């Protein structure tokens, strides 16, 4: 019976022919279903006065009460502004960094050195933010931290790097780049590896040096991947990084570092206002969706490359 139906459908026939390969998609499909689609059901909490007895479906409807509460909150403007500023800085400064690293590593001919740099640059990605921030606290403290000791040995004044508005953005963006640059460069390394070697040969024949080859061959070769990743990164513009900001933001920098992610977590977990936190989270997601769709459309018009 199934065979008959499959034979009527070319796509289904192809899938059936390669069923073993398609079977490998199953865990991915299950993952997406469980973690990306099932939770959508919980969005309704943002529109309900959630209580434990009623649960998701039995709690009374609250309309847009929690969205109003958020926009009436005296710091909501500052929180949105901080989120966008920090995300934009991460995007504009942080996004090109893995591309630059991948291009530079591609030019390295000593394989051992290249592998070592690659490994060292990947490692921070696997270190939790708690460890990273503790390391930063230990290294950067003006009271016995090696960085300030080094500055002192050159006769420089000690600097309070953390919990200091003057150094706040540098610390946030710098630590984010340090943590993610290696991991994010992998996909660009892969894209560069896929470039036809004949293009390099042809460029060489035309007299292009190493820099010209990088500019005219490597960079255009990874252009499409970069655009796709940029569109995805824009989707995170309303999400400045929960763990990092929760740990690195202190009372002295609160006017710069209070962001939506932390506000939502604090409201939900610290204050037990689950519906309010869900409303803030939903607001973030809706803006992110609008941004992705907009940037995707712009990218399609400008470069013919788009996500959908």
Partner 1 sequence: MNRIWSKGVSILLVSIMAGGLLSGCTNSSGNGEGAEGGDGNKLKILHNWNGSGGSDNGITPVEEVIKEKTGVTLEWEYTKGSETEKVNQIFATQDLPDIYTGPAWGGELDGIIKAAKEGQLVDISDKLGDYPNLAKSIAKENVPPALYEKAIDAYDGKKYLLLQNQPATNEDGMDWLYGFYVRKDIAEKVGVDPQSVVTKEDFYNFLQKIKDANLKESGQPVFPLGGFSNGWSVGIGNTMFYSGASYVDKGDGTVEHNFFTKGYEEYTLFYRKLVEEGLMDPEAFTQTDPIAKEKINQGRIAILAAHYPAILDASKEYVTAHPGSDYIPVGPLERADVDPSRPVDLGIQGNNVTAITSSCKGACVDAALKFLDYMASDEGFMLARYGVQGVHWDMKDGKPVPNKEWFDKFTADQSGKVRKNEGISIGLESVTGLDRINSAAGGDIWADQDRLDAMENARKILRPNGIHVITAYNPGDVITKSPEWEMLKPSMDRMGDAWKEAIFAKSDEAALSIINDLREQLRKTGYDQAMQFTNENLKGKDIVTVQMPN
252 binds partner 1 (CB under 8 A): yes
Question: Among residues 9, 51, 294, 303, which is the contact residue for partner 1, using CB under 8 A?
Answer: 51
The minimum distance between CB 53 and partner 1, in angstroms, equals 5
From the list 29-37, 105-113, 120-128, 227-235, the region that binds partner 1 by CB under 8 A is 29-37
148 binds partner 1 (CB under 8 A): no
Question: Among residues 107, 196, 206, 271, which is the contact residue for partner 1, using CB under 8 A?
Answer: 271
Question: Among residues 92, 269, 298, 302, which is the contact residue for partner 1, using CB under 8 A?
Answer: 269
- Sign (positive or negative) of CA dihedral 91, 97, 103, 105: negative
238 binds partner 1 (CB under 8 A): no
Question: Among residues 31, 41, 71, 126, which is the contact residue for partner 1, using CB under 8 A?
Answer: 31
52 binds partner 1 (CB under 8 A): yes
The minimum distance between CB 112 and partner 1, in angstroms, equals 33
Q: Determine phi and psi for 149, rounding to 5 degrees.
A: -60, -40
Token pair listed for 249: 């933001």
CA distance 178 to 175: 5
Token pair listed for 271: 């204050």
Structural contact between residues 91 and 233, judged by C-beta atoms closer than 8 angstroms: yes
Alpha helices in the chain (DSSP H): 2-7, 10-17, 19-23, 26-32, 55-58, 65-72, 76-89, 96-107, 111-122, 129-140, 146-153, 168-193, 197-205, 210-213, 219-221, 223-234, 242-248, 254-257, 260-265, 274-303
Helix axes 168-193, 129-140, angle to 10 degrees: 130
Please, which of residues 104-123 interact with partner 1 by CB under 8 A? none
Question: Among residues 1, 27, 109, 155, which is the contact residue for partner 1, using CB under 8 A?
Answer: 27
Question: Among residues 11, 26, 111, 205, which is the contact residue for partner 1, using CB under 8 A?
Answer: 26
Note the residues at the interface with partner 1 (CB under 8 A): 20, 23-24, 26-27, 30-31, 34, 51-53, 69, 72-74, 134, 137, 141, 143-144, 160, 162-163, 250-252, 254-255, 267-274, 276
């Amino acid at each position: 019976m199934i065979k008959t139906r499959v034979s009527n459908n070319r796509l289904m026939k192809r899938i059936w022919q390669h069923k073993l390969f398609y079977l490998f998609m199953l865990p991915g499909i299950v993952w997406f279903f469980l973690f990306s689609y099932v939770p959508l059901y919980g969005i309704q909490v943002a529109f309900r006065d959630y209580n434990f007895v009623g649960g998701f479906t039995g709690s009374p409807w609250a309309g847009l009460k929690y969205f109003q509460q958020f926009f009436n909150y005296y710091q909501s403007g500052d929180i949105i502004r901080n989120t966008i500023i920090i995300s934009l800085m991460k995007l504009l400064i942080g996004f090109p960094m893995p591309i630059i690293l991948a291009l530079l590593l591609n030019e390295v001919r000593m394989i051992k050195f290249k592998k070592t740099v690659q490994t060292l640059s990947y490692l921070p990605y696997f270190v939790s933010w708690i460890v990273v921030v503790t390391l930063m606290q230990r290294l950067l403290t003006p009271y016995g931290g090696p960085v300030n000791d080094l500055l002192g040995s050159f006769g420089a004044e000690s600097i309070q790097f953390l919990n200091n508005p003057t150094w706040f953005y540098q610390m946030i963006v710098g630590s984010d780049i340090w943590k993610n640059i290696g991991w994010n460069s992998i996909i660009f390394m892969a894209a560069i590896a896929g470039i036809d070697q004949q293009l390099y040969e042809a460029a060489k024949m035309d007299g292009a040096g190493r820099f010209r080859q990088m500019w005219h061959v490597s960079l255009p070769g990874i252009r499409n991947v970069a655009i796709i990743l940029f569109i995805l990164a824009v989707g995170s513009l309303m999400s400045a990084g929960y763990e990092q900001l929760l740990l690195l933001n202190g009372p002295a920098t609160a006017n710069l570092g209070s962001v939506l992610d932390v506000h939502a977590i604090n409201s939900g977990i610290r204050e037990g206002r689950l519906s309010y936190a869900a409303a803030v989270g939903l607001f973030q997601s809706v803006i992110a969706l609008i941004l992705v769709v907009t940037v995707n459309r712009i990218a399609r018009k400008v470069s013919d490359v788009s996500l959908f």
